[in-house]
Structure 1
Amino acid sequence: MPFIDFQSPSLYNLSAIGILREGPVWGVSGEHMAYLMYDSNELQEAKTNIVTIHDDPTIIKKMIDYFYRGDYDDSPDKSHLATNPDYESPTTKAHVNIEMYNVADKYAIEPLMALAKKKLEYRLTLVWDNKEFIHIIEKVYGLDSPQNSKLRETIAKFAVEHLATLIKLPRFDEVRIEFPLFSYDFSTSLIQRMARVETKLRDHEEYFLSLPLSYIVVMFIVFIARGSAWNVVNLSMIGKV
């Protein structure tokens, strides 16, 4: 990929360009052309003001929207699901954000990558679905995903947080075998979490041992008294049965 000097004024001396794809031609102002030319060969599109792309049109449309608004709607574009057989258009908000991250990574748009990651994290926090999460793992660790995708750290973290329910799904075992890198990231995240828990327990233990002996004795007596009171209540209830 050729080096592009994004600080060069000549790169932005373009009034508008067209993005060529099947269907309508989209217009984009010159200042955003640099991103779309980043993946081209020797910037040939600069001569014609036409950039030919080979990405999902629904995602590119949202990316262009981001250029102008600094945000994008992560709702699936259902109007294009049947009219674009060459692309597996996203069907959920989570998938939209994953595809947006991948496209932003391709064109080196770091602010958009960060936004897509944030939106995916928000979506997973707001709405959790075990079966959908399995598909998310497949997307993030699939062949079409960037090798150094920061989404992988996010997915591994959420997998650990929801392990109690995911472990019940046979498919979860299968994806850990099918995607060794996910298995590694998941194990690493789990070990890190266990280490944090162990550290907290050790801190509490040190705090407890640092207390005066008299205070510990009083706490122990209160604990025993509460246990005795609970036992008396239980015995009285048993006697009434």
Structure 2
Amino acid sequence: MRESLRSDFRKHTFFQGVTAPAGIAGVGVSPINPFDLQWEWPINGVSTTQLIFTATSINDQARFTMRSANGTAASPTALPAGAAIGNINFRGHDGTNFSPSGNAAITAITEEAFTPTAHGTQLVFSTTPKGTSSAPIRMKIQGDGNVGINSGGNLVNQKLEVYGGVRINSTGTAPACDANSRGTIWFELVGTADVMKVCVQTAASTYSWKTATLGP
């Protein structure tokens, strides 16, 4: 099977027997990109085949790798800061066309100009709100591990920064306050006087919930 696929790519043929333009290939569809794949699910929903990509590796990890460079294939050059290394995006059909850009996406972006010793990178997550057609950045994980939610292009200086309100809606009973839960914030909805607790260490190996009653 591997040699068959290699042969088809070398001949630049469409896998279902239709000749494709030189250098591109398709499965289930005449390709317009370097590689296109399409599967039409039966109207009645009955099929023995689903469009699933599976990578099985024995005695090693399976990998899905995206690589990016500037320059040419014969002479690649380093990526600058702010370059997208790779992108996984999801595009739905709106009744007229498939979306021209991602409705939701995960993108790896360089944080600095790449050199042999500098590969700073962040991951950004984008989603599209209801009633709109663009997907702004909703969350990013910087190379230093700091996480920003709705921070846009702003630099995130703390381990977690949220641009907007944060709601703590605890239910049930607070866990035991011990070394494992030290620093935990617990919020309880109690009638008309809500309670906020923080698990703190009060002495050596001694832990206790400290409570603040919130009300009028």
TM-score normalised according to structure 2 size? 0.30
Specify which structure has the higher proportion of strand: 2
Q: Which has the higher relative contact order, 1 or 2, with Cα contacts under 8 A spaced 6 or more apart? A: 1
Rg bigger for which structure?
1
Higher normalized helix content (fraction of residues): 1
